[in-house]
Amino acid sequence: MSAINRRQFVGQCAGAAAGAWFLPGFAHATASSQPSVQFPSDPRQRVSVAAYPFREFIVGWKGWDGKTPSTVPVSQQMELKDFAAHVAEKFNVHHIEPWSPIFPSTDPKYLEQFRAAVERAHSSVVDIAVDQGHSQYAIDKAEREKAVTGSKEWIDVSAALGSPCIRTHIDGAKDSKPDVGRAADTLARVAEYAAKKNVVVHLENDNPVSEDPFFIVQVIEKVNSPWLRALPDFGNSLAAHDEEFQNRAMEAMFAHAYGICHVKDGEVDENGKASHVDLAKAFEVLKKHGFKGYCSIEYDAPGDPYKPTAQLVEETVKFLS
């Protein structure tokens, strides 16, 4: 997701291991110093579909201003908990990546319903893309504390849904430029908590300032925890920079990746300028670094997301084969 124009239970449930269909290939570490997700090797089983491109189709989405109702007819809208079944039916994909702003609730009862609905679809949640609105590198200590608290809450949600990871957003700070030291101190605390819940935290090259890919790599290397990893997005850096920068960014990010990456064939910036991703090159870098995690399809351009998502799913399966 491009941040240029978009910002703004409990622990593991008792039934966490229930249902082989619900957690295909997942084997969370227990009291381990290393994450040990058993990722599938079948190309289609490595594909996920992100909820973000379908936000207009999710009941309750109020637009970026929090006031504008969806323009999608009510008959075409769905509850977030039914997204997994919808993705399975439309794309023959059984993994999803929900987006935090479209969760109607995070209370235990709703999460149980969400998890049960995903299980009925013979699917799983493989990541939660978390946008929480706080900066990990702000000078203001209270702001950094809010970033820690927010991430911990979503780590708990991830554990409750059986997801092996979250992506936490690094928001810009009003009182500071990006600072590796403060960001690392903050995220080290998040990674320590995540390890206790067997959830891997990922950082995405999203906002071109607060989430510059090389800044992210510096933070990850300083924290030096297997529970804090990179989430390479195929298009975000290309939207803000040129192809040479994009290539270097993908190399740096995939060298620190683990559980998930975002697949897209282009990006449109806030001025409406479109960029095109060289998918063959991106998957070449992915394979070069031995990435075994999920490839989450995140079509990110104006218009109906269904046909482009279907095309990206099939192209991803082809490149992974």
Mean pLDDT to the nearest integer, 22-51:
75
Name the band, by pLDDT with cuts 50, 70 and 90, for residue 108.
very high
Name the band, by pLDDT with cuts 50, 70 and 90, for residue 32.
low
289 Cα distance to chain centroid? 19
Name the band, by pLDDT with cuts 50, 70 and 90, for residue 174.
very high
Mean pLDDT to the nearest integer, 31-40:
84
Looking at residue 273, its pLDDT comes to: 77
Question: Tokens at residue 280, please?
Answer: 């063959």
Number of structural domains the chain divides into: 1
Name the band, by pLDDT with cuts 50, 70 and 90, for residue 129.
very high
- Which residue from 157, 176, 202, 169 is spatially nearest to 293, judged by alpha carbons? 202
- How far is Cα 97 from Cα 110, in angstroms, rounded to an integer? 17
Q: Match 């323009």 to its residue by tokens.
A: 71
Residue-wise pLDDT for 248-285, tens only, equals 999 999 999 999 999 999 877 777 778 899 999 999 99
The domain spanning residue 36 has which CATH number? 3.20.20.150
Name the band, by pLDDT with cuts 50, 70 and 90, for residue 243.
confident
Cβ-count burial of 256 within 10 angstroms (0-12 exposed, 13-18 middle, 19+ buried)?
buried
Question: Does residue 13 have a pLDDT over 70?
Answer: no
Question: Tokens at residue 209, please?
Answer: 């300032």
The percentage of residues in the chain with a pLDDT greater than 70, rounded to a whole number, is 90
Full-model pTM: 0.88
- How far is Cα 220 from Cα 184, in angstroms, rounded to an integer? 7
Looking at residue 271, its pLDDT comes to: 75
Domain extent, residue 257, equals: 3-320
- How far is Cα 140 from Cα 253, in angstroms, rounded to an integer? 28
Cβ-contact 247, 286 below 8 angstroms: no
Q: HEC profile for the chain?
A: CCHHHCCCCCCCCCCCCCCCCCCCCCCCCCCCCCCCCCCCCCCHHHEEEECHHHHHHECCCCCCCCCCCCCCCHHHCECHHHHHHHHHHHHCCCEEECEHHHCCCCCHHHHHHHHHHHHHCCCEECCEEECCCCCCCCCCHHHHHHHHHHHHHHHHHHHHHCCCEEEECCCCCCCCCCCHHHHHHHHHHHHHHHHHHCCEEEEECCCCCCCCHHHHHHHHHHHCCCCEEEECECCHHHHHCCHHHHHHHHHHHHCCECCEEEECCEEECCCCCEEECCHHHHHHHHHHCCCCCEEEECCCCCCCCHHHHHHHHHHHHHHHC
- How far is Cα 298 from Cα 165, in angstroms, rounded to an integer? 17
Cβ-contact 264, 227 below 8 angstroms: no
Cβ-contact 34, 191 below 8 angstroms: no
Question: Does residue 2 have a pLDDT over 50?
Answer: no
- How far is Cα 298 from Cα 293, in angstroms, rounded to an integer? 15
Cβ-contact 37, 28 below 8 angstroms: yes
Name the band, by pLDDT with cuts 50, 70 and 90, for residue 138.
very high
Looking at residue 275, its pLDDT comes to: 82
Looking at residue 173, its pLDDT comes to: 96
Mean pLDDT to the nearest integer, 78-96:
98
The percentage of residues in the chain with a pLDDT greater than 90, rounded to a whole number, is 78
Backbone phi, psi, residue 96, to 5°: -130, 160
